[in-house]
Amino acid sequence: MAIPDPALVVLVGASGSGKSTWAAQRYRPAEVVSSDGLRGVVGSGPADLDASTDAFAVLEAVVSARVGRRLTTVVDTLGFDTTRRRSWLTAARAAGLPAVAVVVTAPTAVCRQRNAARDRPVPAKVLAQQLRQLDVARADLAAEGWDDVVVVDTADTATAPSIEQPS
């Protein structure tokens, strides 16, 4: 199914599942609000975890401002926090913007392999924990009230959904 545009799009997926790549292939840079990117803005780089609190404060401000204007907003975080997801969904509803969760998955071995090839590989233990958090999130999404929950398997790019062009 096609993802509406404009829409709030909330990515959910483990490190190396391909969230940022998926977003970059489909959306303009200004439409993607990334916690890693903002750690690099308010901290020393995308991996500066000490900057997370400040980065998320900026992320929330950007999401709120964009959604309030009914602008397409792709939230690029791990997406595992149900409280944050629900508050983004509430903001989209208040603005009359469709809200879609996009679960980005890849086989564990593929996530592991992609992570190992990056400059700051996520430790295997952390990735394993993320995959457990992903299972919890996937179970919660159904009850949260999203207009759609799209599952993208990045090991199989043929299943990628298209995006509706604005009419």
Chain residues that interact with Mg ion, rule: CB under 5 A: 19-20
What residues pair up with 148 in beta bridges, in sequence order? Answer: 100
Give the position of tokens 């990056």: 118
Measured at CB, which residue is nearest to Mg ion?
20
Q: Which of 39, 66, 112, 114 binds ligand CTP (CB under 6 A)?
A: 114
74/20 Cα distance (integer angstroms): 10
Q: Which of 8, 9, 20, 97 binds ligand CTP (CB under 6 A)?
A: 20
Name the residue among 149, 140, 156, 115 with its Cα closest to residue 11. Answer: 149
Name which of Mg ion, ligand CTP, none residue 154 binds, using a CB cut-off of 5 to 8 Å depending on partner kind: ligand CTP
Q: Which of 6, 13, 79, 98 binds ligand CTP (CB under 6 A)?
A: 13
The interface with ligand CTP within residues 37-76 (CB under 6 A) comprises none
Q: What b/e readout covers 19-37, taking b as 16+ CB neighbours within 10 angstroms?
A: bbebbeebbeeebbbbbbb
31/43 Cα distance (integer angstroms): 21
The residue count for binding ligand CTP (CB under 6 A) is 14
The interface with ligand CTP within residues 69-108 (CB under 6 A) comprises 78
Question: Nearer to ligand CTP by C-beta: 6 or 46?
Answer: 46
Taking the complex as a whole, the smallest distance from the CB of residue 101 to ligand CTP amounts, in Å, to 15
101/8 Cα distance (integer angstroms): 8
